[in-house]
Structure 1
Amino acid sequence: MTDNYQQLIQQLGTFLDAGQIITDEARRLAYGTDASFYRLIPRVVLRLHNQHQVIAVIRACAELNIPHTYRAAGTSLSGQAVSDSVLITLSDQWRRHIIEDNGLKITLQPGVIGADANRYLAPYGRKIGPDPASINTCKIGGIAANNASGMCCGTAQNSYRTVDGMTVILTDGTVLNTRDEASKAAFRRSHASLLSDLTELRKEVDTNPALKDKIQHKYRLKNTTGYALNALTDFSDPIDILEHLMIGSEGTLGFIADITYKTVIEHPHKASSLLVFSTIEQASEATSILATTPVSAVEMMDGRAMRSVADKAGMPEFIAHLDLEAAALLVETRAGTHEELLSQCDAIMASLSAFTVIASVPFTSEPATVNTLWAIRKGMFPAVGAVRETGTTVIIEDVAFPVANLAQGVRDLQALFAQFGYHEAIIFGHALEGNLHFVFTQGFDVQSEIDRYGAFMDAVAELVAVKYQGSLKAEHGTGRNMAPYVELEWGKAGYQLMQRIKRLFDPQGLLNPGVIINDDPHAHLRHLKPMPAADDLVDRCIECGFCEPVCPSRTLSLSPRQRIVLYRELQHRRRNGDTAGAKALDTVFQYQGIDTCAATGLCAERCPVGINTGDLIKKLRTDKYQRFLPIARWTADHFATTTRLIKTGLGVAHSAQSLLGEHRMTALSNTARRWSHNSTPQWLPELPTINRHQLTESGNSQAHGEKKVVYLPTCASRTMGQQPDNPDQRPLTEVTLSLIAKAGFDVVIPQGLNDLCCGMPYDSKGMTEPAAQKSQQLEETLWQASEQGKYPILIDASPCAKRSVESFSRLMNIVEPVGLVLHYLLPYLELKRLHETVMLHVTCSSRKMGLENDMLELAKACASTVIVPEHIQCCGWAGDKGFSVPELNAVSLEPLKDQVPPDCRRGFSNSRTCEIGLSHHSGVPYQSILYLVDEVAR
């Protein structure tokens, strides 16, 4: 590391915590990756908490002449979020929002996820205009900095058109709030020269008819190639020009510290239809007609695109029989009322009466069908990614043609695919704007492949930018990928104008160098990301980062994307004989990658190709825990004894707590962990008491005949009672029997109960043999107890219920607490709602089983106010990691305590172990939701 960087790190240490400065090689590699096919490894990665820290870092970098790059979510596809210098990332403290004018405006910090912004606006019937496909992951900082759009956004509702103000930090550390008159007045005094230069640029454009016409033409299309030169034609006030130049500037002109959007209507009624035409020409002509009707989105898909998803579950049968000449349009219309929606659907179809639709799914609002239709469109990018050769990457390009040339543009692109051998390439996109995405696979491991890609991109650029005067980047941003072609698209005058803008804002050239403005004609062929084979479980990963928001360890160690990046590098070093490098990386990966992974599998729910990184980690844990396998086998064979030992341990712990007190017990536990290098479990004051409730055969009465429930208390609920300050001290087993009895059901307790376990404690450690043994034993026992699946089976913790559902080979009706109450008990109960505020934690297993809404519905039937805290997808307890890696539980629940209202005294969930950590980090006791239901049930 050069002296300048060493000096920078020393300066940073005077105002940043050590944990905010990442300099070790492994994490710099992991944090430095984004969704593009470029790889740059930053010298320093920073995790900044607030505006003051950003300003201090900017000034320190300027003083030492060190480049720096801003990053939000890192879902960028064109290489604008990677750096080989200083990478500035945002901590979770950048998630504030302010709603104004009854939802007509919203001010958002750059760390707010786009989908969260829409969730905040939903009660007002509003949303933000941009709607990128990555909206569940991408953040406002990236949405604004890239001028991202999407399926329904078009050009009328993107960030450029809907921005109502912003706070921007320039490269000299100056802060400008364009909504604050005092701030603007001060800026006019301090930066008069900059504003004067912007005014001069505007005058030059105004007196150059050819350039002005070109700008106006370019922005009739969707266009994110280069800087937003339309700011120089749309506005006269230089501060307005500055504000709009920031949109789409990709972090090369300044840092957007917050942005205010004018929101748009979120219509309550929507309908979708899939229409298939015999040729792309027919589909394009139909698009021109549809543009005159009340459609909100028209997505075009060519024949190869349709074929790529034909074998996916739930697809309409006719898709498999379409030929490659066919083209489909996915149409959506939205309205304020149901009657208006029906009228619009009729009008849209009437407009197409002159066309032959060879196959279709008629307009529908039925949720399952609508979701299936949009899954067709959203599944195309991952469909190509899932079948690519290992070692290759998936590239998605993003162009716009004038709509009149759409069909011919598609034909010409298809001809280029054939010419350059991209036979798997597919085309789809936002037809109303002539915006097409094409997806293909590409290897970069040999020079001939790099040359092929380079020649292909030259041909694409000539076709789109020259022949059709279109946009080379319609909505994904210029990045590094199209930087060499900006001058080709804009011409010499336009490009020189952009170069002058860059120098005005960034005279030292420190802000995200190489992005948008790049003098290297081969920049798009350099720093290509390797994608070496690592393991079949994760080789399909395209490093998009969609998994990151739901990962409980992402702020402690690594996200799933970052785990895969490091594991790929580790395997690469091993194959290449770099023993020392592999050993060093493996040492880091043990904690960062393996020990701190919750292995919940939530990542698979967000992954476009369905990768469960937790499966890889459990596989790797097999080697780590191999030496403990004999002990695991013994505990599996003697499980009743094992649970008795756990009860004894709980008793000893509480006796010690009574004798020593909470403070001394905490100190003793911390000392033991320190001496044992964290190999002893963490003691918590919320550790449960012993469950002394006896489950006996008397619970198997036959009083109610066929109204029976098989009840399997999990090993956690059989051993653990309640924490000392819980309002209801009954064990969960007792409460469960009480509630079932109120509904008039008989309870069947399985034989040999104390020896039963679903196998999860073993599975989470990669011990597949004892895990399978216990699962099979449980399946056989429950099969008999339920009379071959005749009766529902309650497993009183959602993680164990989910594992059993997935592991059992025989069909049985297994439910967790929420499913039991809603589907079986509730018809026989009367619930008297409490006037009380309660917290509700939806476990990760419940989310994966699709129970989030059911759980909330049940809680709201029992309590007047139910709080589901934001930004907590998983509590991070992860089996027993709350004891062994308590820091994972702590970071996962870090946002929890501040969201507990002052009048809230308790919380509810459906996993006994999760409730320990929830109680500890919230300050209120958590219990099973069955306690709440039993309390209100009559």
Structure 2
Amino acid sequence: MTKAWILSVGPSKKQWVNPAMKSSKRKRLALHLDQQIEGTVYTDQTTLQRYSTDKSIYQVVPQMVVSPASMEDLTTIVSTARDENLSVTARGGGSGTAGAALGEGIVIHLPRNGFLGNIVDFSTGAGKDYITVEAGVYHDTIQTFLKKEGYYLPADPSSSPLCQIGGNIATKASGPHGFSHGSIDRFLQDIEYISARGEHIDSARPKSIPPTLRAALTQLQEKVRADKATVSLLKKRRNFKTASGYNLFALMAELQPEKILAQLFAGSVGSLGLITRATLRVEPYTPEKAALLLYFTDLHALSLATQEAIAAEVTAIEVISQATIRLLKRRKGAGSDELHNGHLLFIECEGPMRQARLAQLKEKLRKSPNLLVPPQEAQTEEELAKLWKIRKQILPVLLRPGAGMKALSIVNDVGVPPQHLAHFIEDIETFFRKKGLETVIYGHAGNGNLHLRPLINIKETDLKERIQAIADGVYEIVFRYKGTITAEHAMGRLRTPYLEREWGSSIYRHMKRVKDIFDPDNILNPEAMFGRGAITDKMRHDLFEPVQK
């Protein structure tokens, strides 16, 4: 994909614009905008269709696509949208699965390495190692640059070749090493953005923050801290991996208003402002890694092994369910003959103590009566890559699950406290078995973050009802274990109806107050954070078209 970072514009809560805007009005608006900016405006159907979908189950055709060439262009777009009672939705690389980056109106794209596609600064010293990047820089580009300098950004989503840093921040991205290093908010230092009023605000320059915004954030912090129920729940979930709703944990920390502002953008899915630049803390790259691969016949034994690995302070703990392993073996993909018919646990450790830690862990785990085969070890980069390749075998199954089938992203990013992992997987497998669905289950066992991908026959006439029932049923189980609707992929129209159920009415009201402070007219991505509609609204048309065998 040669496009970079995207914004789409749709209707605001004040006056929703008819999605089928008259061609004459669209042409007049496009001509007006084209005359006001340096960039280019497109209204051809090929371009509009291209930006009507992402990796989600949704399709929303925009009114026009704009390629800006300057910060002034972005300000003009926001001002025009506000004057025309339109809303603005920020889109990154289009790799999201929750439909947060789709909207009716203007979609803005940036060419790779073009406007907002640059690494601005990199500095190290005295434990202050930072990189400043523009929103459209692809994650892989950042990691390649940093590794040449001996550093890396530990928040490393698996979709790194497809996603941009602006989108990573907006979704509170994490990845396999989020267990030990945390999500991207842990590394976010400062943010620059265009506000709903068209202001250019930089958290590193406190004077750029309007006094009214600063005062509102201070007042919000006081209200949140005075709410005993809110404080209690936030403290309980402080170390729990979640990317649902706004990052209210920032209000519990001893931070200045400008730092609170930056932290609130982590997981905001473009609903607070249009990110243009960010400064992130980076860490020295550690090439010394080692790993263990284990197969268990019993989920509870796997769960106990996970707790042992957590105590051993390892770097990553990945899980693939036994049913998923059987599916991979049945597909006979590359290396599938080396898989064993059990629940897979992959444990990685890094640093000078890696071998000693893994040796101690191996000694404890090899005595488990539920261990299917002796643990496999990886001490070299080649051996490690071979083990990680097993995890990557899942992708072909998701892309090509079989004739008439699709591995739809419906409940693909749930999370529960890791001590409940075994019972949760058992309940989920029972639920899908009763639905007659084969399901791919894998994820980050160390923090209880699982990706669930049921294989669905899209030729079923009741597809929408089945999708709604799957979401309702899975989230009911998630809530039973005090879990989250999204651990690292963030919000979007796929999840908005379940947000209040997860957090409760008190915190939900505080989150809505955050939105009101930053965007009182609700012009920024209004359907990404809050919503009550069915998750099956605006589904992709190709899900209902005949499937070629």
**Which range is displaced more, 445-454 or 497-506?**
445-454
CA deviation string 1:334-387 (max 9, x = no partner): 114xxx443233123123244242225522134443323212112214314312
Give 1 or 2: higher helix fraction: 1
Tell me what 2:92 maps to. 72
Query: What's the secondary structure of 2:135's corresponding residue?
Result: coil
Matched, 1:378 2:392: yes
Are 1:108 and 2:133 an aligned pair?
A: yes
1:531 aligns with 2:542: yes
Residue equivalent to 1:407 = 422
Structure 1 partner of 2:432: 417
Match among 37, 40, 55 for residue 16 of structure 1: 37
How much does 1:443 deviate?
Answer: 5.0
- Please list every run of 5 or more consecutive structure 2 residues that lacks an aligned counterpart in the other structure: 1-20
- Kindly tell me: are residues 300 and 392 of structure 1, through their superposed partners in 2, closer, same or farther at Cα, counting changes over 3 Å? closer
Q: 1:128 aligns with which of 146, 153, 159?
A: 153
Letter in 1 for 2:252: T
2:302, 2:543 → 1: CA distance?
40
- Mean CA deviation greater in 124-133 or 228-237: 228-237
Once the two structures are TM-superposed, the CA of residue 275 in structure 1 deviates from its matched residue by 0.5
How far did 1:273 drift?
2.4
State the alpha-carbon separation in 2 of the partners of residues 297 and 451 from structure 1. Answer: 37
> Is 2:210 the counterpart of 1:196?
no
User: Is the counterpart of residue 484 in structure 1 residue 497 in structure 2?
Assistant: yes
**Cα distance, 1:194 vs structure 2:** 2.3
- State the match for 2:184 in structure 1: 159
Partner residue of 2:297? 278
Alpha-carbon distance in 2 for matches of 1:347, 1:386: 40
Deviations, residues 820-876 of structure 1 (Å, cap 9, x unaligned): xxxxxxxxxxxxxxxxxxxxxxxxxxxxxxxxxxxxxxxxxxxxxxxxxxxxxxxxx
Counterpart of 2:363? 350
**Residues 426-467 of structure 1 deviation map (CA, whole Å, 9 limit, x = unaligned):** 2111000011111113355655221122122111112112x1
Other structure's SS at 1:13 match: helix
Q: Distance in 2 between matches of 1:316 and 1:27?
A: 40
Structure 1 381/416 Cα, relative in aligned 2: closer, same or farther at 3 Å? farther
* 1:263 to partner: Cα distance: 0.5
Q: Could you tell me whether the CA contact under 8 Å between 2:187 and 2:282 is conserved in 1?
A: yes
Residue 141 of structure 1: SS of its match in structure 2? helix
Supply the distance in 2 between the matched residues of 1:155 and 1:61 (Cα, whole angstroms). Answer: 42
Residue 34 in structure 1 maps to residue 54 in structure 2 = yes
3-state SS of paired residue (1:300): strand
Partner of 1:81: 101
Question: Does structure 1 retain, via aligned residues, the 8 Å contact 2:401–2:407?
Answer: no
The residue number in structure 2 matching 1:246 is 265
Question: Secondary structure at the residue paired with 2:192?
Answer: strand
* Superposition deviation, residue 168 in structure 1: 1.6
Deviation at 1:7, TM superposition (A): 4.5
Residue 333 of structure 1 and its aligned partner are, at CA, apart by: 1.2
> Quick one: distance in 2 between partners of 1:372 and 1:155?
22
Is the partner of 2:248 in helix, strand or coil? Answer: coil
Deviation, structure 1 residue 123? 2.7
- The structural deviation recorded for 1:145 is 0.6
- Aligned position for 1:45: 65
Task: Return the offset for 1:470.
Answer: 0.8
Is the counterpart of residue 174 in structure 1 residue 190 in structure 2? no
Residue 90 of structure 1: SS of its match in structure 2? coil
Cα deviations by residue, 1:88-124 (Å, 9 ceiling, x for unpaired): 2223312211211268211111111111111111133
In structure 2, what is the Cα distance between the partners aligned to 1:112 and 1:195?
Answer: 29
| SS of corresponding position for 1:67 | strand
1:511 & 1:79 partners in 2: Cα distance?
15
**Does the CA-based 8 Å contact 2:203-2:261 persist in structure 1?**
no
- Percent of paired sites with the same residue: 26
SS of the residue aligned with 1:154?
A: helix
TM-score, normalised via structure 1 length: 0.53
> Using the alignment, how far apart are the partners of 1:43 and 1:109 within structure 2?
26
Which residue in 1 is equivalent to 2:487? 474
Partner SS state of residue 359, structure 1: coil
Asked whether 1:95 is paired with 2:108, we answer: no
What is the number of equivalent residue pairs in this alignment? 520
* Structure 2 CA distance for partners of 1:50 and 1:309, relative to 1, 3 Å: farther
Question: Which of the residues 489, 507, 513 maps onto 1:500?
Answer: 513
Q: Does 1:268 align with 2:268?
A: no
Q: Which residue of 2 aligns with 1:647?
A: none
Q: Kindly provide the amino acid, as one letter, of the partner of residue 343 in structure 1.
A: A
Asked if structure 2 preserves the Cα contact closer than 8 Å seen for 1:391 and 1:533, the reply is no
How many angstroms apart in 1 are the aligned matches of 2:444 and 2:400?
23
Question: Between Structure 1 and Structure 2, which shows a larger proportion of strand residues?
Answer: 2
- Whether contact under 8 Å (1:160, 1:247) holds in the other structure is yes
Whose relative contact order is higher, 1 or 2, with alpha carbons under 8 Å and at least 6 apart?
Answer: 2
Give 1:656's aligned residue: none
Counterpart-to-counterpart distance in 2, 1:8 and 1:280: 58
Task: Classify 1:10/1:417 alpha carbon distance in 2 versus 1 (closer, same or farther; 3 Å).
Answer: same
Aligned match for 2:522, one of 509, 513, 526: 509
1:217, 1:378 → 2: CA distance? 34
Give the TM-score, by structure 2 length.
Answer: 0.89
3-state SS in 1 of match to 2:207: helix
Q: Matches of residues 836-915 of structure 1 in structure 2 within 5 Å?
A: none
- CA offsets, 1:256-299, max 9 Å, x none? 11111101232111122210011111101100001011411110
Residue in 2 that maps onto 1:431: 445
Inter-CA distance 530–441: structure 2 relative to 1 (3 Å threshold): farther
Q: AA paired with 2:417?
A: P
- State the Cα deviation string for residues 516-573 of structure 1 (Å, max 9, x = none): 11132x1x1111113369999xx79xxxxxxxxxxxxxxxxxxxxxxxxxxxxxxxxx
State how far apart, in whole Å, the 1-side matches of 2:459 and 2:169 are.
34
Measured after TM superposition, the shift of residue 73 of structure 1 is: 0.6
Larger Rg: 1
- Name the amino acid aligned to 1:282: A
Letter of the 2:305 counterpart? A
Distance in 2, Cα, partners of 1:246 & 1:235: 17
Report the alpha carbon displacement of residue 391 of structure 1 after superposing the two structures with TM: 6.5
1:216 and 1:34, CA in 2 relative to 1: closer, same or farther beyond 3 A?
same
> Counterpart of 1:499 in structure 2: which amino acid?
K
Conservation of the 8 A alpha-carbon contact between 2:415 and 2:450:
yes
Q: How does 1:728-739 map to 2 (within 5 A)?
A: none
The separation in 1 between residues aligned to 2:25 and 2:219, in whole angstroms, is: 37
Within-5 A mapping of 1:583-732: none
- Name 1:453's counterpart in structure 2: 467
Shift in alpha-carbon separation, 1:533–1:414, aligned structure 2, 3 A: closer
- Report if aligned partners of 2:405, 2:455 keep a CA contact under 8 Å in 1: no
Deviations 1:48-105 (A, max 9, x none): 2332211111111112111122222100011011112222222331221121126821
How much does 1:512 deviate?
A: 1.2
Contact (CA 8 Å) 2:294, 2:345: kept in 1 or not? yes
Relative distance call for 1:198 and 1:489 in structure 2 (3 A) is same
What is the alpha-carbon distance in structure 1 between the residues aligned to residue 489 and residue 208 of structure 2? 35
Q: What runs of 5+ residues in structure 1 fail to find an aligned partner?
A: 541-938
Residues of 2 paired with 1:155 and 1:226: CA distance? 23
Give the secondary-structure state (helix, strand or coil) at the position aligned to 1:261: strand
